[in-house]
Amino acid sequence: MKIRIGTRKSKLALIQSEMVSAAITAAFPDIGTELVHITTKGDIVLDKPLEKIGGKGVFIDEIERAMLDGEIDIAVHSAKDLPLELAAGTCICAVLPRADAHDMLVTNKDAEQPGKPVIGTSSTRRAAGVRKLFPDAVTADIRGNVDTRLNKLADGQYDGIILAAAGLSRLGALSDERFDFTTIGFGTLVPAPCQGIIAVQARVGAIAERLRRISDTDTYYCFETERKVLELLNAGCSSPAGAFSEISDGKIVLTVTKDQQKTLTDSADITDRFALAERLVSAL
C-alpha cells in the first residue's frame, strides 16, 4: 500500500511532509509514501495580503480539490493556516507533537535598531505585538517563504521581521549566523491558534481511521481547543486574535486574546476544554 501525501512545494512544507511520512513509516512499516507537490494560490500571489486574496483558504483550496478528486490520499498543513471550514467529507485525522509555539523577532546580526524600525509582517496579530516591542515602529507587508523573507531582511529591506519559531527550527535557520533571533514572550504576543502544530487532513474513511494512530493525543486536544477559540471569536486571517494551550496532569491551561491587549488565562480538566474556551472568550 502507498499513501500519496499532498504538499506545497516550499522547503518548510516539504520538511513537514517528510516528518509525517516518517511517522507513517514508523507506525506502519508495510505502508509506503509518495509526496505529491501542489501549487496553491497563496504560493503564487505574493504581492497582496492574505485577506485580499481569500484568507487562509488560499493555502489549501487546490490541495483539498486534489484530495476530493482522488489525486492524493492525505495532505499536510501548518495547522495555523487552516480555515475553520474544511472541505466536506474530509477531517484532520492526526497531528504531530507540537513544536515551539512562540513568535520570534529576527534582526540582522548585531544591528542597532533605528528610532522608527521597519518591521516586516503581513499579520495583524504580529503587528499588534510589534507595537508593544517598538511603539514607534512601522510595519510593512512581507510575503514569501521563510528563506525569501530572511533574504529580504539580510538585503536591508527591513530592520526586523517576525516569524514562527517552529518554522525557523524545522528549517535549521536558527543557526544562520547572519541574524539574531529573539523569542517574543506570550505576555507580549499570544501565538496564532495552533501555531507550531502539523496537521494531517484526509478523506473520512479507512485511511483517516488508520492514521489516527500517529496522532499525538495531547497536541490534538490543544488543536481542538484552540480551533474552538477561533470559532467562538469568528476570527479570520486578518484578526489579531491569539490562543495557546498546554496540558499537564490531566488539565489544560488556555490563554486567549482577541486583540493582543486584553489576555485571559485559566485551566480546566481536559474533558471540559470546550467549556473553558467558551468561558474565557465570553469574558474578553
Active site members: 81
User: What is the spatial distance between Cα 256 and Cα 182, in angstroms, rounded to a whole number?
Assistant: 22
User: What is the spatial distance between Cα 33 and Cα 20, in angstroms, rounded to a whole number?
Assistant: 10
Q: Which residues, including other chains, have CB under 8 Å from residue 107's CB and lie 6 or more apart?
A: 113, 153, 159, 160, 179, 180, 182
Tell me whether residue 262 is exposed, middle or buried, using C-beta atoms within 10 angstroms of its C-beta: 0 to 12, 13 to 18, 19 or more.
exposed
Q: 3-class SS at 147?
A: helix
H/E element, 124: helix 124-133
Q: 3-class SS at 176?
A: coil
